[in-house]
Amino acid sequence: MPDSTPQSVLRFEHVSITFGDTVALNDVSFDLKAGGTRIIYGAAGSGKSVMLKIALGLLKPSSGRVFVFGQDTTDLKEKDLFPIRSKMGVLFQEGGLFDSMTIEDNVAYPLENAITAPDGKARIPADQISGRVREALRFVELEQTLVKFPSELSGGMRRRAGIARATVNEPPLMLYDSPTAGLDPITANMIMALIIKARDTKNTTSAIVTHRYQDGQLLANFRYNPESGRLERTEKNGDGVCARTTFMVFGEGRLVFEGTQDELDRSADPYVSKFKAVKQ
């Protein structure tokens, strides 16, 4: 961690959630600081997606407390959550795009429909929306799909459009739920490159849920170079991308591991080793 203590962006304190008899999250605590990148590994059903939904306030924890930007959101009412949610961008597993709307309308949705604009500012004027939407779609290289519907796009393109929608109002915190699940390796790397680009150009705090070990390696060791427009490997202990990236491993609702990349590499935990086994 850098010397100055950055502000806490997302903090869980002893959070547990149960559905009927199943415990989906069991006493999970962590703290994500501003500017940090958190990679959350876990097998299917390990509770990592549930964790993101609790962070967004879509699910209420059975016990424990959740703090977003320092504010306790655990017992907030839905309408009081809207201003906080507008500061969080989220990419759902399948993109979560609205089937009944074109890509343009989907990306414009946060700008047009949000009850509260980010930071309580006035809503974005209608004449600026189109420009912002195009800019967000240019960012994910999908400008040509403005009038298409989500069903006309491939899985990778839907996820790129989802990233555009999540980043259109430039939220300081980005959450990604399995951004590479079910994609071929080439498309998956492209999505990861976009996530790195979004993190480095917009300087966002990010939490990425994934089951692919190499996703975390990419995030920890590469950064986006705005001059060349490409990803480049960072020097170890260099500009701090690696130091700002921390890892968590979930197993059956429990936080099995938390630490830096070096600690992850050294960890002898049998569950953590399973994830490292797929390392190239």
Partner 1 sequence: MLDFFKGPILALQDFFFLTGRALRNIFRSPHYTDDILLQMDIIGVGSLPIVILTGGFSGAVMALQMSRALATYGATGQVGQIVAITLVRELGPVLSALLVAGRSGSGMASELGSMKVTEQIDAMRALGTDPIQKLVTPRLLATAIMLPLLTIISDLVGLAGGFLVSSITLNTTASQYWNTAYRALVWNDLAQGLLKPFVFGIVIALVGCFYGLRTSGGTQGVGLATTKAVVVASVWIFVFTFFITQIFVNQQ
Question: Measured from the CB of residue 34, what is the shortest distance to partner 1 in angstroms?
Answer: 20
Kindly tell me which residue out of 86, 180, 206, 245 binds partner 1, with binding defined by CB under 8 A: 86
The answer to whether residue 116 forms part of the interface with partner 1 (CB under 8 A) is: yes
The answer to whether residue 98 forms part of the interface with partner 1 (CB under 8 A) is: yes
Q: Which is nearer to partner 1, 69 or 109 (CB)?
A: 109
The answer to whether residue 88 forms part of the interface with partner 1 (CB under 8 A) is: yes
Kindly tell me which residue out of 114, 146, 181, 243 binds partner 1, with binding defined by CB under 8 A: 114
Give the bridge partners for 51, in sequence order. Answer: none
Kindly tell me which residue out of 30, 67, 82, 149 binds partner 1, with binding defined by CB under 8 A: 82
The answer to whether residue 99 forms part of the interface with partner 1 (CB under 8 A) is: yes
Q: Which is nearer to partner 1, 78 or 127 (CB)?
A: 78
> What does the alpha-carbon distance between residue 12 and residue 222 come to, in Å, rounded to a whole number?
28
| Alpha-carbon dihedral angle through residues 91, 93, 96, 102, given to the nearest 10 degrees | 80
Question: Measured from the CB of residue 150, what is the shortest distance to partner 1 in angstroms?
Answer: 10
Question: Measured from the CB of residue 85, what is the shortest distance to partner 1 in angstroms?
Answer: 6
Q: Which is nearer to partner 1, 39 or 173 (CB)?
A: 173
Question: Measured from the CB of residue 107, what is the shortest distance to partner 1 in angstroms?
Answer: 11
The answer to whether residue 53 forms part of the interface with partner 1 (CB under 8 A) is: yes
The answer to whether residue 159 forms part of the interface with partner 1 (CB under 8 A) is: no
Kindly tell me which residue out of 50, 54, 90, 190 binds partner 1, with binding defined by CB under 8 A: 90
Which amino acid, one-letter code, is at 256?
A: V
Q: What is the 3-state secondary structure (H, E, C) of 240-260?
A: CHHHHEEEEEEECCEEEEEEC
Q: Which residue stretch of 35-43, 112-120, 199-207, 261-269 sits at the interface with partner 1 (rule: CB under 8 A)?
A: 112-120
> What does the alpha-carbon distance between residue 74 and residue 79 come to, in Å, rounded to a whole number?
13
User: Rule CB under 8 A: which residues touch partner 1?
Assistant: 53, 56, 58, 78-79, 82, 85-86, 88, 90, 92-94, 96-99, 109-110, 113-116, 165
